[in-house]
Amino acid sequence: MTDRYEVIVCGGGMVGAATACALAHGGIKVALLERFNPERQWPPEPIDIRVSALTKASQNILEMLGAWPGMVQRGVCAYRDMRVWDARADGELHFDCADTAFSELGHLVENRVTVAALWDVLDGIPSATCITPAKVVDMQLNESGRQLHLEDGRILEADLVIAADGRDSALRKMAGIEVTGWDYHQDGLVATVSTENSHQFTAWQRFLDEGPLAFLPLKNGQCSIVWTLSSETSKSYLALADNDFLQVLEQASGGILGKMLDVGPRAAFPLRFQYANRYVDQRLALCGDAAHAMHPLAGQGVNAGLLDAAAIAELVIRTRQEQRPLSSLRFLRRYERWRKGDNLMMMSSMDVLNKTYSVAAQPLADLRSAGMNRVNNSALVKAYLNRYAMGLRDDLPKLAKGQICW
């Protein structure tokens, strides 16, 4: 027996769950597949090491989906300032929410908080079905739709399948969609730390020889760190005793938050620049990391994925409202045109920044610092960068503007 849906979303993380949630709000019969049932409750401590900086546009999406109150209840931390400086010279940037129309620049949120809140909303929408555990082992295309064969023998079919199953997307590979990209030979080392001085609800980022070190404020007064290091250095730092790691971290921080007092579990993930050569195929669309993976130095990866989710959902809902088939490649290609250019621009910007700050030559360090200081002294340029970083740019999906799309 084959269970049939209008849309199947594969991957129940932040992007996949947001996509399914938006579609379900629009009355689309949608199934969300995930290999593991996400946790909904946990002790207040410790903070999870997987944390994302969500932009104002992402907040708008999550508010429209009804997930934001559940996220606030579980815990979010607004950050009001961002300070960036170059360790090799005197360049500095300071972004302040006082220069915007908002009371914060964004929010730091544990990934599990966003996922749990979205799944809570999905539980209350009749047109949504969450299926766990579900591992897709085969995908076939036929005249009536795409069929997904699960490991447990079940067969599901839909007019459209949306792959939001991560950077190593199994569905993308099954569809034969190739990727372009390269390894950075860098890792992102993450951990939660306690510091002598208050984080002041400020995101701090210091550019070092191997990559940026970011301190991101958390609701309990601690900081989440994201430290870009060579893969070799990252491996050695993971092996250090806690006290030795804290000494290295304190030195790398330049003392901006005083002494490093405590550190929780550490982990590292390899960094890669990667994009799918095509975002769509017959009855198939890629979202989030399945479509693109970028350097985390500006924390834009999940925000780009949430914009993907809002865009594809808006187009699917509109197509159904106009009584056109969801098998049409026309609206899928529109989705690709809408999102691919914006994502490539963001990815390329992060790539250029990473490579620029990886060059240790002092003349270049002096030049880039002069550029940073010039930008810092230009209210007009900073205002533009602020809005762009907050996700408030042109051609946004309706949900990202705080408008419903159903």
Residue 233 within any structural domain of the chain: no
Average pLDDT for 237-258: 97
Tens digits of residue pLDDT in 354-392:
777 777 778 877 888 888 888 888 888 878 887 877 888
**CATH number of the domain where residue 37 is located:** 3.50.50.60
Average pLDDT for 124-143: 97
Least confident stretch, 310-319, 325-334, 355-364: 355-364
Residue 309 within any structural domain of the chain: yes
Average pLDDT for 11-23: 98
pLDDT tier, 403 (very low <50, low <70, confident <90, very high otherwise):
very high
Residue 267 within any structural domain of the chain: no
What's the total number of domains in the chain? 1
Which residues on adjacent β-strands are paired with residue 193? 223, 263
Q: Which domain, by its residues, includes 152?
A: 2-181+272-401
Residue 191 within any structural domain of the chain: no
Cβ 214 vs Cβ 225: under 8 Å: yes
Element (H, E) at 51: strand 51-54
Residue 188 within any structural domain of the chain: no
Average pLDDT for 77-103: 90
Residue 220 within any structural domain of the chain: no
CA–CA separation, 199 vs 207, rounded Å? 18
Average pLDDT, the chain: 94
Residue 201 within any structural domain of the chain: no
Q: Which candidate, 316, 281, 293, 336, places its Cα nearest to that of 141?
A: 281
In the structure encoding, which two tokens stand for residue 245, read together?
């790691």
In the structure encoding, which two tokens stand for residue 14, read together?
């932040």
Which runs of E-coded beta strand occur in 169-211? 179-195, 202-207
- SS3 (DSSP) at 141: strand
pLDDT at 67: 98
Residue 232 within any structural domain of the chain: no
**Burial class of 353 by CB neighbour count within 10 A (0 to 12, 13 to 18, 19+):** middle
